[in-house]
Amino acid sequence: MVMGKTFAEITTEIRQWIEEQRMFFVATAPLAADLHVNCSPKGGDAFRVLGPHEVAYADLTGSGIETVAHLRENGRIVLMFCAFEGAPKIIRLHGHGEVVEPGDQEFESLRANFPALVGLRTIIRVQVTRIADSCGFAVPFYDYAGPRGVLDKLCEKMGPAGLADYRARKNRASIDGLPGLNGT
């Protein structure tokens, strides 16, 4: 098994392996060195490969807005998929991300790639510029116990008006004051 390779595109094999992973991580950073780097775990049926150099994920309501703010500032993003079952493997997709909000021209066509997600706040689309694997030899095994239903229940309880209020209070700016959501 040779690891540490880069790939010209997201191949069928890479796509299939990515689709088998139940969790992935997103990392972004602001331009200023004294501001905070962000790394966020993501799960559920929220990731799609759209083409050999394009991916997207459903960005769900949360207490922070770091990824959105960093992408709006500079677009840099890396997504990491890591095997917790089976053979050890890590895939990183580096690229330039953009935030697609409800009301944006492409939102509905991108949203059609995902199931109905009550907490959906934006879609993050990434033009992938580097695809690489690494070994993951030291990553431990974990048993998947199932999805958490907490976010769905909370968002259903809040309803559309409550979600809009929450996002207006919690998702307007990053922890460093960078602009977040536009007001959805």
Domain boundaries, the chain: 6-137+146-170
pLDDT above 70 (res 61): yes
How many Cβ atoms sit within 10 Å of the Cβ of residue 59?
24
CA–CA separation, 117 and 42 (whole Å): 14
CA–CA separation, 78 and 158 (whole Å): 31
Supply the pTM of this predicted model.
Answer: 0.95
pLDDT above 60 (res 184): no
Homologous superfamily of 6-137+146-170 in CATH?
Electron Transport, Fmn-binding Protein; Chain A (2.30.110.10)
